[in-house]
Chain A
Amino acid sequence: MTGPTPRRVDPDVDLRVRGDRGELRAHPAAVLGVVAAGGALGALARAGVQAAFPHRPTGFPWATLGVNVTGCLLIGALMAVVGAGRTRPLTRPFLGVGVLGGFTTFSTYVVDAHQAAVGGAPGTALAYLAATLVAALVAVWVGDAAAGRLLRRAARADAVPPAGDGGRGAR
């Protein structure tokens, strides 16, 4: 392939991105190790939030909604930083695949909605499904936009040459 690297779609691993393609073969133990460790940390954080804000089977699962929306805000910001090339090779596997992937959950999202519907609260189920989806997508966008703005500001600050040396001097 001679063109530019296609833009990443999958933050966990995108085989069209050169770094992602080679990382598992290059450092299998490190990559899988940080994904496992990050996943454990993320899952424990999620369990903590869910234990602090329990809900009835037919109630609105606010805790999981909060977890999923927060995780989406953070992945938007994280991937903006990763995309700017300002991270180490294991940052995305640890924080993106591990911590945020383990923190957020799709299975609990659909199973809670199913339980609410089965328990006689289909309206709650539908509202929960829609509210999470919309809030999560807005959160990714906000995280990406906010981090992008900060990164551009930082890049502009880096680009300003120190007076008198034409920008080549040691800093």
Chain B
Amino acid sequence: MTVLLIALGAAVGAPLRYLTDRAVQARHASSFPWGTLVVNVLGSLVLGALVAAPVGPAVRALLATGFCGALTTYSTFGYETLRLARDGAWWWAAANAVTSVLAGLGAASLGYALTRALAG
């Protein structure tokens, strides 16, 4: 059952990452990977909120491990950062790494705090 829930969550999360990335890229022409940054920050916000929520293992498998895990990606983030650096855009590579980590941490903290506040 857990296996099915993880697979189901990921089967929604991964295509949603692809579609969001396309939608974000269609709105700008720069090579900075805004699309991946957006999905990673959004996924971190949702997972941060989930961690503080009183949910059972089934919901955790579906939404945390499956959906948030597949919506966000480290491989794409890592490749983009290296690609920018190797293309000579050192400043953008560093900005991507620092912004992603700080914004992801901030989003996770915000989600966590929001759930805690709502749960009283």
A interface vs B, CB < 8 Å?
A: 6-16, 24, 31-32, 35-40, 42-44, 46-47, 50, 68, 71-72, 74-76, 79, 93, 96-98, 100-111, 113-115, 118, 129, 132-133, 136-137, 139-141, 144
Tell whether, in the assembled complex, residue A105 and residue B104 are in contact, meaning their CB atoms are under 8 Å apart. Answer: no
Task: Scan residues 60-100 of chain B and give those whose CB is less than 8 A from a CB of chain A.
Answer: 61, 64-66, 68-84, 87, 97, 100
Tell whether, in the assembled complex, residue B74 and residue A72 are in contact, meaning their CB atoms are under 8 Å apart. Answer: yes
Q: What 9 A-B pairs have minimum CB-CB distances, sorted nearest first? A: A39-B14, A43-B10, A104-B74, A106-B72, A40-B7, A110-B104, A75-B75, A36-B11, A107-B47
Partner of A74, one of B25, B33, B48, B75: B75
Interface membership of chain B positions 1-43, coded 1 if the CB is closer than 8 angstroms to chain A and 0 otherwise: 0110011111111110111011001100001110110001001
- Tell whether A101 pairs with B33 under 8 Å between CB atoms, given A15-B25, A76-B82: no
> Which of chain A's residues have a CB closer than 8 A to the CB of B115?
none
Tell whether, in the assembled complex, residue B74 and residue A110 are in contact, meaning their CB atoms are under 8 Å apart. Answer: no
Interchain CA distance A49-B66 in the complex, whole Å: 14
| A19 → B minimal CB distance (Å) | 13
Partner of B25, one of A10, A76, A102: A10
Interchain CA distance A139-B82 in the complex, whole Å: 10
The answer to whether the Cβ of B105 comes within 8 Å of any Cβ in the partner chain is: yes
Tell whether, in the assembled complex, residue A10 and residue B21 are in contact, meaning their CB atoms are under 8 Å apart. Answer: yes
Tell whether, in the assembled complex, residue A105 and residue B87 are in contact, meaning their CB atoms are under 8 Å apart. Answer: no
Using CB atoms, name the residue of chain B closest to A37. B11
Tell whether, in the assembled complex, residue B70 and residue A102 are in contact, meaning their CB atoms are under 8 Å apart. Answer: yes
Tell whether, in the assembled complex, residue A107 and residue B10 are in contact, meaning their CB atoms are under 8 Å apart. Answer: no
Tell whether, in the assembled complex, residue A36 and residue B15 are in contact, meaning their CB atoms are under 8 Å apart. Answer: yes
- Tell whether A15 pairs with B22 under 8 Å between CB atoms, given A38-B14, A106-B40, A106-B104: yes
Tell whether, in the assembled complex, residue B14 and residue A98 are in contact, meaning their CB atoms are under 8 Å apart. Answer: yes
Tell whether, in the assembled complex, residue B47 and residue A39 are in contact, meaning their CB atoms are under 8 Å apart. Answer: no
| B23 → A minimal CB distance (Å) | 10
> Which of chain A's residues have a CB closer than 8 A to the CB of B104?
106-107, 109-110
Tell whether, in the assembled complex, residue B78 and residue A72 are in contact, meaning their CB atoms are under 8 Å apart. Answer: yes
Using CB atoms, name the residue of chain B closest to A65. B74
